[in-house]
């Protein structure tokens, strides 16, 4: 998915949407910027503007196209009623590329997407090359044995010590596999967007 200049998008949506904008260099540059207009004021404060902003935050955070994100939202709304917001988060978190990132195999979701697409990731021991694959409770996400010697995974055991693994997965085999122990999800407070407002956007 082509996203355009990332720093420009971060200035509009917030630094949380890209790992590239969560660096000290970016924070220093923002602090020195003469632009002091608040983001909420820049959007005019309308309900539609707020809903659109939240939707764009989520879409760029997970690296999805408009069509992909719209499909997830509509699937979440179908039959879930008041739980549609939680269902949307569950679908986003269940993506294989997100699970790979959550497991700490790589440091960004974009890198996770590439890792999957290039055939370095397995589901229950079988190679999977579809980043959008929805992982399920009981499945095991892993790095292919042939790929574990890559410089990308040097010092994997040490890196695990500083990695915060979500409650719905358990790392095994020296951190090269992650068993999905519960349905993937995350707390609303842990993301930089409000899924309930996004559901409002698609309910119009």
Q: Is 147 domain-assigned?
A: yes
Residues 78 and 122 placed together within one structural domain of the fold = no
Residue 81: predicted pLDDT: 78
Q: Is 74 domain-assigned?
A: yes
Residue 71: predicted pLDDT: 96
Q: Which strand (E) or helix (H) includes residue 72?
A: helix 66-77
Sign of the torsion formed by the C-alpha atoms of 186, 134, 177 and 101:
negative
Cβ–Cβ under 8 Å, residues 152 and 106: yes
Q: Is 157 domain-assigned?
A: yes
Give the residue carrying structure tokens 């999977």. 128
Instruction: Name the nearest CA neighbour of 6 among 25, 152, 37.
Output: 25
Q: Is 115 domain-assigned?
A: yes
Q: Which strand (E) or helix (H) includes residue 122?
A: strand 121-123
Residue 162: predicted pLDDT: 84
Would you give per-residue pLDDT tens digits along the chain (204 residues)?
545 566 566 666 665 565 656 555 545 555 565 554 444 444 446 899 999 999 999 999 999 999 999 999 999 999 877 799 999 999 999 999 999 999 999 999 999 999 999 999 999 999 999 999 999 999 999 999 999 999 989 888 888 888 899 999 999 999 999 999 999 999 998 999 999 999 999 998
Predicted model pTM: 0.79
Domain that holds residue 168: 95-180
The encoded tokens of residue 101 equal: 């990132």
């Amino acid at each position: 998915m082509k996203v355009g200049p990332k720093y420009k998008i971060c200035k509009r949506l917030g630094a949380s949407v890209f790992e590239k904008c969560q660096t000290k260099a970016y924070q220093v540059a923002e602090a020195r910027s003469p632009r002091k207009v608040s983001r909420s004021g820049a959007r005019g404060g309308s309900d539609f503007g707020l809903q659109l902003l939240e939707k764009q935050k989520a879409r760029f955070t997970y690296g999805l196209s408009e069509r992909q994100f719209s499909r997830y939202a509509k699937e979440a709304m179908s039959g879930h009623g008041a739980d549609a917001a939680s269902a949307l988060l569950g679908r986003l978190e269940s993506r294989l590329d997100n699970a790979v990132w959550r497991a700490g195999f790589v440091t960004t979701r974009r890198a996770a997407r590439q890792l999957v697409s290039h055939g370095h990731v397995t589901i229950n021991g079988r190679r999977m090359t579809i980043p959008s694959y929805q992982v399920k409770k009981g499945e095991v996400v892993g790095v292919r044995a042939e790929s574990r010697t890559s410089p990308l995974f040097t010092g994997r055991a040490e890196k695990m010590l500083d990695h915060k693994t979500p409650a719905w997965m358990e790392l095994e085999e020296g951190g090269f596999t992650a068993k999905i122990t519960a349905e993937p999800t995350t707390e609303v407070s842990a993301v930089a967007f409000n899924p309930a407002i996004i559901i409002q956007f698609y309910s119009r």
